[in-house]
Chains A and B, each alone.
Chain A
Amino acid sequence: MSAGVLSKTVRGFTNALAQTLVSENSAHVHGLLQTLDPRVKLLGLLALVVAAALSRRLSVMAALFGLGVVLAVASRLSLWSLAKRVWLVAFGFTAMIAAPALFLTPGQTLYTLPFGSAAITEQGARSALLLIARVEAAVTLSTLLVLTTPWMHLLKALRTLLVPVEVIALLAMTHRYVVLLTETANAMFESRQSRMVGRLNGHEQRRLMVNTGGVLMSKTLELGNEVFLAMQSRGFRGEVRLLTDFRLRARDYLVISGFAAAVVTAVVMGR
């Protein structure tokens, strides 16, 4: 049991680190989306996510999902990996939430179960399908943004949405230390796991987790001081500057037009 909780936590950390590596690797592949200006990608894909949220038609959501698949293929992303890590997870989670709506939503009876008196309503079935389709389309499009854009480029592109420069600096530092602290926490749990021979009861397990959290917090604060001193020694005087060297090229303008056309079509058709 104790090993189970530790293993589960370590597995969670390993998955998060693996996901970071996968994103960094796929962002540097030479595909369609990777070669675009990050600002174009950010605005275009976000607008498509909003179009999916606005849509009230299954066909439009399916088309947006299809567009996402085409963009993924053109960006040389593994469809199998997308299916495993994104589509199946989103489907499982949403289907679990949407399933009771089949029976609970008032409306015309579509099918009565052979056992009991529970009936699937037409409105319930449509509502569940709409929810699943919308989530799949939105998740696919937002995942494309993350998988094809290096994190630092994505943050710099957020300036186009008028995000304050301090927030971008905070996000950049947070991301860097998320990876570092995840590695630290992972090492702490692994070392504890490797030294443990017996079984811990529930109270001891909770104490282990909370104490690890406490030690991690102490390390975090110590690191915060060291980082600040390092920033000061490198000339940090409170001003945050971003080096943005983005330049729009002909293909970016072409893709902007494509995104705009897709968004307008989806919004008009999805009403």
Chain B
Amino acid sequence: MHIPDGYLSPSTCAVMYAASAPCWWAALRRTRKKLFGRTLPLLSLFAAFSFVTMMFNLPLPGGTTGHAVGVGIAAIVLGPWASLLAISLALTIQALFFGDGGITTLGANCFNMAIAGSFAAWGIYQLVSLGAKAESRRRVVAAALAGYGAINLSALLAAIEFGIQPMLFHDATGTPLYAPYPLSVAIPAMMAGHLTIAGAAEAIMSAGLFSYLRRNEPALVGIASPVAARKTARSLCGALALVLLLTPLGIVASGAAWGEWAPRDFSDAAARAQIAAASGNSAAPLAAPSGLARLANLWTAPLPNYAPHFVKSGPFGYLLSAMFGVGLILAVAWVALHFTQSAKQRSEQ
């Protein structure tokens, strides 16, 4: 997943540096006060630790071995901001000193693994372990999921960066100038290895290290007090509310997402042109494939295209759909939690 020099166009690299820079700046600002204390050596040593654990050959079920990045445990122990700095430091040393990952692509690698990875790992851990007791097994599962989710999100971002190269950067003859595979090839190729081997390595390492630290250094993995748990829940709810309010931004994106075409798009000239442009200039079939045409009307969604028919305003309809979706997920999670806790209480009795 360490993207070497030459795979991404300079403009993609510049965009990824530009996307990473504010995160580095904010992380430095947040930790700068603490840097005067123990954080300076702690961050450096944690970065060095992450670097060394990346060299561990972890045996996986099935006889193969994998390497973990260590972003899961770093986010749990240090929090997302310090974790993104520590992993960025480790990636910088790898790129500059050991040639693992490129210099021009360092912004992209740090964004994928250190920034997105740290926030994903921290968010997943907080969400899954919310309200769990210190000795609860759910915390270990949360650590494993944090590592697994983080590494797969990083891989997905890397695959998207690879996949957009041939669409955006090709010469007059159609020759891709950088990474040559479109999204339809890059995403499955990248995710196959990460959903299985790399994801398993990260999950095992995160869960194993979490268990070890909970036994031997419990303060480090921040077994939250009820007050802290309430604070975390409040901040998660705040973040969720903010994201909900921003959902109407989704309307700004024009055209259909790749692969999400309706049968009627195949007979519409403008839509066909969009499909061809998004598919490496491969012309779409003249009619919708028979399977697609047959199955497209199998299920009629109650809120089609995120636009409830009783709401006139597009942005409000979008917001209402997002609230409905989030409410549905929370309700399912609450029911699942209720049943799990009831079953546990019964087994304890």
Chain A positions within 8 Å of B, measured between CB atoms, are 1, 5, 8-9, 12-13, 16, 19-20, 23, 46, 49-50, 52-54, 56, 86, 90, 93-94, 98, 100-101, 104-107, 122-124, 126-128, 130-131, 134-135, 137-139, 142-143, 146, 151, 154, 164, 166-167, 169-171, 173-178, 180-182, 185, 202, 205-207, 209-218, 220-221, 223-225, 227-228, 231, 237-238
Q: Which residue of B lies closest to A125 (CB)?
A: B175
**A209/B4 contact (C-beta < 8 A), A166-B35, A173-B41 known:** no
How far does the Cβ of B14 sit from chain A's closest Cβ, in whole Å?
10
A130 and B73 alpha carbons, distance in the complex (Å): 39
Q: Which residues of B contact A146 (CB under 8 A)?
A: 96-97, 99
How far does the Cβ of B118 sit from chain A's closest Cβ, in whole Å?
16
In the complex, the answer to whether B52 meets A185 with C-beta atoms within 8 Å is: yes
Q: Is B146 interfacial (CB-CB < 8 Å)?
A: no
Q: Which residue of A lies closest to B52 (CB)?
A: A181
**A218/B216 contact (C-beta < 8 A), A86-B99, A135-B4 known:** yes
A238 and B176 alpha carbons, distance in the complex (Å): 50
Q: Which residues of A contact B104 (CB under 8 A)?
A: 49-50, 53, 138
Q: Which residue of B lies closest to A136 (CB)?
A: B6
Identify B57's interface contact among A8, A98, A126, A127, CB under 8 A: A8
Q: Which residue of A lies closest to B280 (CB)?
A: A106
Q: Which residues of A contact B35 (CB under 8 A)?
A: 166, 238
Identify B180's interface contact among A131, A176, A228, CB under 8 A: A131
The DSSP consensus for interface residues of chain A is helix
| A-B contacts at CB below 8 angstroms, number | 242
A210 and B57 alpha carbons, distance in the complex (Å): 10
In the complex, the answer to whether A105 meets B57 with C-beta atoms within 8 Å is: no
Q: Which residues of B contact A175 (CB under 8 A)?
A: 48, 93, 97
Q: Is B81 interfacial (CB-CB < 8 Å)?
A: no
How far does the Cβ of A46 sit from chain B's closest Cβ, in whole Å?
7
Interface flags for B157-184 (1: CB within 8 Å of A; 0: not) read: 0000000001000010111111111000
Interface flags for B34-73 (1: CB within 8 Å of A; 0: not) read: 0111101111111111011101111111010100000001
- In this complex, the member of A12, A50, A178 whose beta carbon has the largest number of chain B beta carbons within 10 angstroms is A178
Beta-carbon contacts under 8 Å, B285-319 to A:
none
Q: Which residues of B contact A98 (CB under 8 A)?
A: 180
Q: Which residues of A contact B49 (CB under 8 A)?
A: 181, 216-217, 220
Q: Is B345 interfacial (CB-CB < 8 Å)?
A: no
In the complex, the answer to whether A213 meets B53 with C-beta atoms within 8 Å is: yes
Q: Which residue of B lies closest to A155 (CB)?
A: B96
Identify A206's interface contact among B45, B58, B102, CB under 8 A: B58
Q: Which residues of B contact A86 (CB under 8 A)?
A: 99
Q: Which residues of B contact A53 (CB under 8 A)?
A: 5-6, 9-10, 13, 104
Sample 13 A-B pairs with CB under 8 A, ordered by A number: A50-B104, A107-B174, A130-B175, A130-B177, A139-B6, A139-B102, A171-B93, A173-B40, A174-B47, A176-B44, A178-B93, A181-B48, A185-B56
In the complex, the answer to whether B56 meets A209 with C-beta atoms within 8 Å is: yes
Q: Which residue of B lies closest to A178 (CB)?
A: B48
